[in-house]
A and B are shown apart, each in its own frame.
Chain A
Amino acid sequence: MAATDFLRKRFMPHIWCPGCGHGIIMRALLTAIEKLDIEKNDIVMASGIGCSARMLGYIDVHTMHTLHGRALAFATGVKMARPDLTVVVPMGDGDALAIGGNHFIHAARRNIDMTAIVMNNSTYGMTGGQYSPTTGCGEYGTTAPYGTVVQPFDTVELATAAGASFIARTTTYHAREMARILADAIRHPGFSVVEVLTQCPTYYGRKNEKGDAVEMMERFRDCAVPVGPLDDNGRATAADVEAADASVETIPIGVFRKEVRAEYCDAYRRQVIEPAVAAASAAADAAGGDR
């Protein structure tokens, strides 16, 4: 199968603007799914609202286009009912970290086995370029005509503190590596967060004079610094980042964390479902009735 065999071709060309990075992420995800050789019927994708969330309209697996910020809650329901399915949730930075911030941190805390792709374009693209929790301090948006006065979230640090067990960052320039990381994230048995820095040339790019899609991707290329290899605890060593000149803008990329710890559905089955079923059947036996 080719990666594009997972496309609902009848809906193409897609709605995204010329040069929008979201399409590059979709392509990388399809490549990852193809590489992992998962059946279409065994994958569920849930999304909220946003340009990013529109992705799953184009992907020919089981898809649920749900409420802004709430995709992880829907995905959690699916995963608990059918832990055998592979669950992937593409989200915008607003969807994941603003309106959906609470779902995000608690999904990470539970370590439920699914993959959240945070498509970070530093803005609310769909609604016209309002600033988001990842817009840099002093940067512009339609709701920040004088520049924002708050510092942005660092998605990797947030996911680390909340307890996600696989955490990575990459960019649309690094498309080949992105496909590899996404495959790794989907395979990982726990909550995986892959932040992809992506370009919204239409709003964020224009408001902040970052140029066209090519220039925005060149910036990703020029600023990216790979983090060091994982240590014995599955944490990235920061050597390469520290070695970089502090006066130059850097974007640390790569896998920051990869550790195996108790997964939610698995732990819940062992600790709650199995004892509850055993207790119910023991009670029925004690009552001596036919079941």
Chain B
Amino acid sequence: MSTSRRIEVNPDWCKGCNVCVAFCPKQVLALDERGKAYVANIDACIWCRECELRCPDLAVTVVVERAS
């Protein structure tokens, strides 16, 4: 069984408030030139979901897929 994990940011919902970027304990996220959040350094992610829980626009999803 393998698990694949990723972080998805919905750019249509993101309003660029910077909350997810500021409170990520591992500096995984950043804002792009349009002011939308994106995943800048996935290797540092500890999958704590703090970004998902705190995004005021429900734009961040931590996706965990288990395949056997």
> Are A179 and B53 closer than 8 Å at their CB atoms?
yes
Q: CB-nearest residue of chain B relative to A16?
A: B56
Instruction: Find B18's partner among A4, A16, A23, A214 (CB 8 Å cutoff).
Output: A214
Interface assignment of B54: CB less than 8 Å from any CB of chain A? yes
CB distance from A151 to the nearest CB of B (A): 29
> Are A175 and B53 closer than 8 Å at their CB atoms?
yes
How many of chain B's residues touch chain A, expressed as a range?
Answer: 10 to 19
Instruction: Find A213's partner among B19, B50, B58, B59 (CB 8 Å cutoff).
Output: B19
> Are B12 and A23 closer than 8 Å at their CB atoms?
no
Q: CB-nearest residue of chain A relative to B12?
A: A13
- Considering the chains assembled together, what is the distance between the CA atoms of A173 and B12 in angstroms? 24
> Are A217 and B19 closer than 8 Å at their CB atoms?
yes
Q: Note all chain B residues with C-beta closer than 8 A to A44.
A: none
> Are B53 and A213 closer than 8 Å at their CB atoms?
no
Chain B 5-31 interface 0/1 with A at a Cβ cutoff of 8 Å (1 = within): 000000011011111001100000000
**Count of interface residues, chain A, beta-carbon cutoff 8 Å:** 28
CB distance from B31 to the nearest CB of A (A): 11
Q: Note all chain B residues with C-beta closer than 8 A to A22.
A: 56
Q: A214-B22, A217-B19 are in contact. Are A28 and B56 (CB under 8 A)?
A: no
> Are A19 and B53 closer than 8 Å at their CB atoms?
no
- Considering the chains assembled together, what is the distance between the CA atoms of A151 and B50 in angstroms? 34
| A-B interface pairs (CB < 8 A), number | 68
Q: A27-B53, A179-B53 are in contact. Are A4 and B15 (CB under 8 A)?
A: no
- Considering the chains assembled together, what is the distance between the CA atoms of A13 and B39 in angstroms? 20
> Are A217 and B13 closer than 8 Å at their CB atoms?
no
Interface assignment of A43: CB less than 8 Å from any CB of chain B? no
Q: Note all chain A residues with C-beta closer than 8 A to B18.
A: 19, 212-214
> Are B19 and A14 closer than 8 Å at their CB atoms?
no
Interface assignment of A52: CB less than 8 Å from any CB of chain B? no
CB distance from B24 to the nearest CB of A (A): 12
> Are B17 and A24 closer than 8 Å at their CB atoms?
no
Q: A13-B13, A213-B18 are in contact. Are A7 and B58 (CB under 8 A)?
A: yes
Q: CB-nearest residue of chain A relative to B22?
A: A214
> Are B19 and A26 closer than 8 Å at their CB atoms?
no
Q: CB-nearest residue of chain A relative to B58?
A: A27
- Considering the chains assembled together, what is the distance between the CA atoms of A214 and B31 in angstroms? 14
> Are A4 and B57 closer than 8 Å at their CB atoms?
no
Instruction: Find A23's partner among B16, B50, B52, B55 (CB 8 Å cutoff).
Output: B55
- Considering the chains assembled together, what is the distance between the CA atoms of A214 and B16 in angstroms? 11
Q: A12-B58, A18-B15, A26-B58 are in contact. Are A217 and B53 (CB under 8 A)?
A: no
CB distance from A285 to the nearest CB of B (A): 59
Interface assignment of A111: CB less than 8 Å from any CB of chain B? no
CB distance from A198 to the nearest CB of B (A): 9
Q: Which residues of B contact A (CB under 8 A)?
A: 12-13, 15-19, 22-23, 50, 52-59, 61
Q: Which residues of A contact B (CB under 8 A)?
A: 4, 7, 12-14, 16-24, 26-28, 31, 172-173, 175-176, 179, 212-214, 217-218
